[in-house]
Amino acid sequence: MNDKPARPSRITAWPSTAWSAIRAIQSASPDERRAALEDLLRVYYEPVHRFFLKALGIRGPRLDDVTQEFFTRFIEKDFLKNVTYEKSFRGFLKLACRRHYINWCHAEKSARARSGDMPRLNDREGSPIDIPIPEERFNSMVDEELRRMYLDEAVERTRNELVRQGKELYFRIFEARCAQDGSGIPDYETLSRQFKIPLFDICNHLMAARKIFRASLQAFAIERSEDPREELRELGLDRHIF
């Protein structure tokens, strides 16, 4: 895995679940296993990268190196070789990510001790980054980035489906309704004035877009977990579906 994995615009041709892919990886040849594992982890590159940004307070090439090292070691150490079964790849990823994070913190602390004058880095909340954050907060931070991954993918799938149906306006209204720019969620009357269409059409277009969004979110969860309902519940996304 020499190059930084590119973020896929949309996940396609995925096995029935991530763990179906993992079981296939375990029985594949070494070359096939490496290629399949790289494909699996490429999906998770961006949320892990964002997590290390927040947890370690580092940026630029150093941040890229930390993230790249995590995925490289994940592949080279063959972390999945002895895995038997888990419902969600997310739980296993968090465990591997925490181990790498703690090792990084220890290495940072040792390097600072040897240097003597190496400045101590702090995270965004002012805490030293060479002291591992509590496991509960760690899990919450990783889940926050994975939750964002789910929502981003569901929105992208919603966009693609509505454009395919020739209903780009539906998505533009949906996007405006879901905007998180600090200005607040616009009400239906505001959307009606903004898009210059009747209030009745705003309601219908949003209803259609939300239906596709919920289906997209659920489909993505099915691909990631063998218990998609629990996966969405643990990520706080079940209210979007059930």
DSSP string, 114-150: HHSSPPPPB-TTS-BTTSPPPHHHHHHHHHHHHHHHH
**Which residue bears the tokens 């888990």?**
86
More confident residue, 4 or 151: 151
- CA-wise closest residue to 185 among 177, 197, 174: 177
Q: What is the pLDDT of residue 54?
A: 84
H or E stretch including 103? helix 89-115
Distance CA 9, CA 229 (A): 24
Angle in degrees, 0-180, between the axes of helices 188-195 and 168-177, rounded to the nearest 10: 140
Which of the pair, 32 or 11, is modelled with greater confidence? 32
Q: Is the pLDDT of residue 194 over 90?
A: yes
By the 8 A CB rule, do 154 and 217 touch?
yes
pLDDT at residue 216 above 80? yes
pLDDT band at 14; cut points 50, 70, 90: very low
Using DSSP, state whether 29 is helix, strand or coil. Answer: coil
Q: Which residue has the tokens 């981003």?
A: 152
Range from 23-37, 96-110, 176-190, 202-216 that averages highest in pLDDT: 202-216
Give me the residues paired with residue 122 across strands: 128
Q: Pick the more confident residue, 32 or 189.
A: 189
| pLDDT over 70 percentage in the chain | 76
User: pLDDT (tens digit, 9 = 90+) per residue, 140-168?
Assistant: 999 999 999 999 999 999 999 999 999 99
What is the per-residue pLDDT for 16?
Answer: 52
Confidence of residue 201 (pLDDT cuts 50, 70, 90): very high
Predicted structure pTM score = 0.76
Alpha-carbon distances, residue 121 vs 51, 99, 138 (angstroms): 16, 20, 18
Quote the CA–CA distance of 41 and 33 in Å, as a whole number.
12
d(CA 58, CA 181): 25
Residue 181's pLDDT band (cuts 50, 70, 90): low
How high is the pLDDT of residue 241? Answer: 65
Q: Is 180 exposed, middle or buried (0-12, 13-18, 19+ CB in 10 A)?
A: exposed
Higher pLDDT, residue 12 or 118: 118
The predicted structure's pLDDT at residue 81: 66
* Greater model confidence, 32 or 186: 186
